[in-house]
Structure 1
């Protein structure tokens, strides 16, 4: 089965002009989410689920949700900006108010990998893509998680504004022994904001490959560099928004990235509570398997 990404929260601490995501308007009950995850495990032999954004730390019961998913025997990867690890955090996108402090120790205990974004070595570079996330705040979150014994992953969206900053980012990673992986994602011009602002962030395949070479040369020895191009991620994800809506980006049939794949449309599959949703997903997965084989 494709990678399953659960958007646990409906809001975010940052406002990324290149965001690919569609945010849900409500938050599904934890019992419904866990029941569906268990069904995916049983029907599709699902072994791992990524809990991502809207930032999962904006969800009031994020720790109970993670504990419940962990109890299913799934590997849990959590992707978060990490702001609420530092204390009560202001919600800045698709919502208002403040999210409560989330203890790093509690999350580290029930996750197998925690991904923290770092898109620049300075605020000037970092905030081109990830507004309101300072380099200092990202490093502070990494320090807390490092002390909590978490296994860490750094996520960098490589775009037109940060290709010359890969080596300085690599230098920052050497401070944290808990970092196991550094993922480089080629900017993908999809979704409501990513497609609208594509001209600011688009990067050629050759420039992305050069950035990947730099990362491999300069990354600390304990950090594995994983490179994820637009073609490599096409047809690879099944997404579930906070309200339980299941979707995938609308992409063309060929496995390689095509110009028509750069759009702001998505394919809606159904809701986690729909009758027959597992059969629908099975048919869809069979069709995708033919494309990606």
Structure 2
């Protein structure tokens, strides 16, 4: 089974015009999510799950969910902007109000890797893609994660607006002992927002890899750099939105990235509460591995 990405929350602290995600209107019961995750582990040998956005820290019982996944023996990658680690945080997208403070040290106890986004070395560049996330706030979050002994992965979406900024982003990372890995993703023009705003962010695979070459390992020391093009990520994800809908992006069968792969559609498989959802996944896997 390929990468499983669980949208734990239905809201976010930032607003990303290039977001690939389909946001759910509700949040699935934690018991249902854990039962589904246990089914994936038992039937398909799932070992790792990515808990992502809508930002998982907007989920009121996020620590209960993470602890449950940890108890199942799953390796947990938590992808979050991290805003609520610093204190109560305002919800900016797909919702209103304030999310409660989430303890970074308690999350670090159960999450094997915490992914924090950084898409620019300055606010002007960063907020082209990730509005309301300042570079100083992201640095403050990283410093906090340094102090609690977390293992951190930096996530950067490489797009037309930050192609020439990767070396400058690299210069911000070396001082944080918590950072183990830096993942760089070529912008993928899918989802309602990513597809709608694709012309603002599109970058060719050639330019993506050329930009990666500007990063020199001596800038980063022990930090491992992982570059992932859109083509390399095609057909690699099984996603579950916050309402429990299980889906994959609607993409052509051919391995290379093609024009028709850029769309706002998704292939719905079912809901995590459907009695036959594991059978449907098994059937799909025989036709096209997920």
Give TM-score scaled by structure 2 length.
0.98
- Which residue of structure 2 lines up, in the alignment, with residue 81 of structure 1? 81
- Secondary structure of the corresponding residue to residue 140 of structure 1: helix
Alignment of 1:118-197 (within 5 A): 118-197=118-197
Using the alignment, how far apart are the partners of 1:100 and 1:196 within structure 2? Answer: 32
Specify the alignment match of 2:95 in structure 1: 95
Aligned to 1:230: 230
Displacement of 1:81 in angstroms is 0.2
Is 1:15 the equivalent of 2:12?
Answer: no
**Cα separation, 2, equivalents of 1:130 and 1:178:** 22
Deviation at 1:217, TM superposition (A): 4.0
In structure 1, the partner of 2:214 is 214
Ranges in structure 2 where 5+ consecutive residues have no aligned partner: none
| Secondary structure at 2:172 match in 1 | helix
Distance in 2 (CA, whole Å) between partners of 1:103 and 1:215 is: 33
State the number of aligned residues: 290
Report the CA distance shift for 1:169/1:218 in structure 2 as closer, same or farther (over 3 A). farther
- Once superposed, what is the RMSD of the aligned Cα atoms? 1.0
Which residue in the other structure is 1:263 paired with? 263
Displacement of 1:40 in angstroms is 0.3
Q: Contact 1:219–1:225 (CA<8 Å) still a contact in 2?
A: no
Segments of 5+ residues of structure 1 without an aligned counterpart are none
- Correspondence for 2:71: 71
Q: What's the secondary structure of 1:214's corresponding residue?
A: coil
Shift of 1:206: 1.4
Whole-Å separation in 2 of the counterparts to 1:261 and 1:240:
20
1:239 aligns to what?
Answer: 239
- The Cα of 1:144 is off from its aligned counterpart by 0.7
Provide the C-alpha distance between the structure 2 equivalents of 1:88 and 1:118, rounded to a whole number of angstroms. 21
In the alignment, the residues of structure 1 paired with residue 180 and residue 5 of structure 2 have an alpha-carbon distance, to the nearest angstrom, of 20
TM-score by length of 1: 0.97
CA distance in 2: counterparts of 1:263 and 1:25, whole angstroms:
21
Is the CA contact (8 Å cut-off) linking 1:57 and 1:80 kept in structure 2? yes
Aligned-pair distance for 1:288?
1.9
CA change 1:13–1:185 in 2 (3 A) is same
**Structure 1 equivalent of residue 273 of structure 2:** 273
Cα deviation code 1:194-228 (max 9, x no counterpart): 00000000001111001211235454121100011
Cα distance in structure 2, aligned partners of 1:23 and 1:235: 20
For the residue of structure 2 that corresponds to 1:35, the secondary structure is helix
Runs of 4+ residues over 2 Å off in structure 1: 215-219
- Distance in 1 (CA, whole Å) between partners of 2:45 and 2:219 is 34
**Distance in 2 of aligned mates of 1:286 and 1:272:** 19
Distance 2:43 2:22 in 1: 26
> Partners of 1:39 and 1:203 in 2: how far apart?
38
